Amino acid sequence: MNYAAREEKLAAWLEAERAMRSRLAPTGTVPLREVAQMHPHAFFDGIGKGELPRPPIASCWASSPSNGRPAISCSRARRTRRTTTR
């Protein structure tokens, strides 16, 4: 992969991440009574669609959702100063 193709791919990934993050609700909690009535896929889909708040750990987690398709929960770690060991 040449430099221009790499930069184009990186820009596309960053834009996809920005778009996904813009749909997410702020961190918070959902009452256990409400969660207990939901199917697990509905719970995670609700978070991915911004209908439910993200878990509080998301505020210090160096990752972001990378797949917004129904019933698929996937995250991609973001390399940050906190998560880099070198």
Report pLDDT digits (tens) over 30-80: 999 999 999 988 998 888 888 999 888 877 766 666 555 554 555 556 666
How far is Cα 77 from Cα 49, in angstroms, rounded to an integer?
19
- Residue 52, class by beta-carbon neighbours within 10 Å (0-12 exposed, 13-18 middle, 19+ buried)? buried
Residue-wise pLDDT for 18-38, tens only, equals 888 888 888 899 999 999 999
pTM of the model: 0.59
